[in-house]
Amino acid sequence: MRYAVHVSFVAVLVLGLVASRQGLDVLPAGAAQAPGEGPQTPEPSALGQVGFEPPTLPPFRRSVEGQPGIDRRADLHTIVPDRPRIEITEYDVEEGDTLFGIAEKYGLKPETVLWGNYDVLLDDPHTLRPGQTLNILPVDGTLYKWNEGDGLNGVAKFFGVSAEDIINWPGNNLGPDTDPTTPGILAGTALVIPGGRRQLVTWSAPRITRSNPGVAKILGAGACGALYDGPVGSGSFVWPASNHYLSGFDYSSVHPGIDIAGRAGDPISASDNGVVVYAGWNDWGYGLVVVVDHGNGWQTLYAHLSQVSVSCGAGVYQGSTTVGLIGCTGNCSGPHLHFEMMSDAYGKVNPWNFLP
Ligand SMILES: [Zn+2]
């Protein structure tokens, strides 16, 4: 355990850069600019060199004074401090940890763990690995690394809170008379944004359909060019793998699909009839991916494949076309099928509600 505050930066700015460079439309309108109409936006790699000295914290202790330490293997219940935490602490990821378990341990939402660690986790629970050091925010919310030229009102608005919410958080060490326009915050300072929220960046954010396969260009080499029409789905779905149970994450707000158990090389079949609108590598951690557009407002996605067995524009048929083989490409810690279902009407949905 390292004791100094880990000044990891978030992300908004980095995301803004990524988003603006790659045309990724995942941040709220104006979001990339909102927190800093500042002068020149520094390159992400330069952000760590803005001369920010992390404050020193008293040693982090896992147990409350006078009580025995909590054996995390025997008892995974919440760590409840005897008084509210106000500072960011750190957690070293151990074998067997999950994002959800860590969040629960500290009484936080899983989103808060992602929002506090964009540079480590990239908003993706699959990226969690033993040995990583995570920022644990004292409350649910987001973490923001201050940039030259930022204003508190803009930062607050971006995260859906008020400037007062940020000023009043004791761990931010801002006086009650802080002027939101010229708050005098040193560039590089990590601010806790209590109650702050932002959209999670999921690589598959753009909806890929047979009429717009080009939107997937930002996702990686698997993007397809213009497509002709093809088979249309029945509107009902079948399991895409022979196993009908999970190995890994279930569907949740931070994991918009299910991890279906399987061995490397097991065949994956189309969950309904449709046309392949993405086939190949994905740069955002999903490895080899196939996306099928069912032509009726639905798309399904198959990720971490060891092999893609179809190509762009191919017609696929429910339960009979093998779209690929189970694998562990991209951010993956063991072979499984990451399966997502998307609907024009509902966005990403819980596949459990639609699989037989
Ligand atoms: Zn998954």
The pLDDT, as a whole number, for residue 79 is 63
* Per-residue pLDDT tens digits for 70-100: 333 444 556 666 677 889 999 999 988 888 8
> pLDDT at position 180, please?
93
Spacing, Cα 12 to ligand 1 middle (Å): 24
Q: How far away, in angstroms, is 259 Cα from ligand 1 center? A: 5
The C-alpha angle 33, 36, 42, rounded to 5 degrees, equals 95
5 CA distance to ligand 1 middle (Å):
30
- Percent of all residues in the chain with a pLDDT value above 90, rounded to a whole number: 55
Distance in Å, CA 148 to ligand 1 centroid: 37
Task: Please work out, in degrees rounded to the nearest 5, the angle formed at the alpha carbon of residue 110 by the alpha carbons of 108 and 113.
Answer: 80
Question: Which tens digits make up the pLDDT trace of 180-237?
Answer: 999 999 999 999 999 999 887 765 556 888 888 888 887 888 889 888 789 999 999 9
Residue 302 pLDDT grade (very low, low, confident, very high; cuts 50, 70, 90): very high
Query: How much distance in Å is there from the Cα of 157 to the middle of ligand 1?
Result: 31
Spacing, Cα 328 to ligand 1 middle (Å): 10
Looking at mean pLDDT, say which of 13-17, 25-29, 192-196, 226-230 comes out highest.
Answer: 192-196
- Cα(249) to centroid(ligand 1), Å: 6
Cα 337 to averaged position of ligand 1 atoms, centre (Å): 7
What spacing in Å lies between the alpha carbon of 246 and ligand 1's midpoint? Answer: 10
Residue 255 CA, ligand 1 centroid: distance in Å: 6
Band of residue 332 on the pLDDT scale cut at 50, 70, 90: confident
**How many Å lie between the centroid of ligand 1 and the Cα of residue 301?**
11
- The whole-angstrom separation of Cα 94 and Cα 113 is 15
CA of 338 from ligand 1 middle (Å) equals: 4
Please give the distance, rounded to the nearest whole angstrom, from the Cα atom of residue 202 to the centre of ligand 1: 12
Give the mean pLDDT of the chain. 80
Can you give the pLDDT at residue 155?
A: 94
| Cα of 13 from ligand 1 centre, angstroms | 26
331 CA from centroid of ligand 1 (Å) = 9
Element (H, E) at 292: strand 287-293
At 4, is the pLDDT very low, low, confident or very high (cuts 50, 70, 90)?
very low
pLDDT for 284: 76
**Which one-letter amino acid corresponds to residue 112?**
T
- Give the pLDDT score at 15: 40
Length of the chain: 356
Query: What are the structure tokens assigned to 105, written together?
Result: 């341990």
Query: How far from the centroid of its chain's Cα atoms is residue 201's Cα?
Result: 5
CA–CA separation, 276 and 293 (whole Å): 6
User: Is pLDDT of 63 > 80?
Assistant: no
Q: Which domains does the chain have, with CATH numbers?
A: 12-194 (3.10.350.10), 213-353 (2.70.70.10)
Measure 4 CA to ligand 1 centroid, in angstroms.
32
Average pLDDT over residues 277-298: 92
**DSSP string over 69-123:** PP-TTT-------SS---S-EEEE--TT--HHHHHHHTT--HHHHHHT-HHHHTT
What pairing do the DSSP bridges indicate for beta strands 298-305 and 307-308? unpaired
274-282 and 287-293 strand pairing: antiparallel
pTM over 0.85? The answer is no
The token pair at 108 is: 């936080």
Q: How far is the CA of 250 from the centre of ligand 1 (A)?
A: 8
Q: What is the structure's pLDDT at 203?
A: 53
Q: Which of 4-18, 101-115, 231-245, 278-292 has the lowest mean pLDDT?
A: 4-18
Exposure string over 54-79, b if 16+ CB within 10 A, otherwise e: eeeeeeeeeeeeeeeebeeeeeeeeb
Mean per-residue pLDDT for 319-348? 93
Please say if the pLDDT value at position 24 is more than 70.
no
Alpha carbon of 132 to ligand 1 centroid (Å): 19
